[in-house]
Structure 1
Amino acid sequence: MPIVISAQTSSPTATAPVVPPDPATQTAPVAPPADDPLPMDLDGDGVVTAAEHAAGARALFEHMDANRDGRVTREEMANFQRQVLGAAIPPAR
């Protein structure tokens, strides 16, 4: 299953500080369809909040951490890149 990461940009505006959602009032996220252009938009409102982005980044990290030790090694990263891209990205020189 390909992983798609999207971003939305807009002009800067004053916004309220980001407050993490209260877990007691949250429902379980529903996996978006594979062709969803904003897969991290868990509530389907058309934008990705900081909390939704953090949850998506965490899920991506957990997917890469094959042995579940809380760390991603070069080998795990290369294996993930092969899975997603078909080839590992060579290190920058």
Structure 2
Amino acid sequence: MTKSARSQVSPSSDNESRQVIWKRPIFLFAVGMLFYAVGWTGDILHYNGVYIFVDSFFYVWSWKTLFIPVLVILDTTQNLQLKDGFF
């Protein structure tokens, strides 16, 4: 979201924007699962649909608010990979 759009966001328009954004990941997920069903297992559209859907809940957060959870996720995954061979 751009800075000017973020400054003009009200709670009602925020929910409307999120619902409009939800149409895209649902479409990507549906097309990706259709490709997967016909045998194309190399498709990543359904993954992108899920990622965009999850991201739609965070698009109104500032980068400062997102910075701490990103660091926690990176630290956790690195520790799991290095210590436990998890990934």
- TM-score, reference length from structure 2: 0.28
Higher relative contact order (CA 8 A, sep 6+): 2
Higher helix share: 2
Q: Which protein is bigger by CA-based radius of gyration?
A: 2
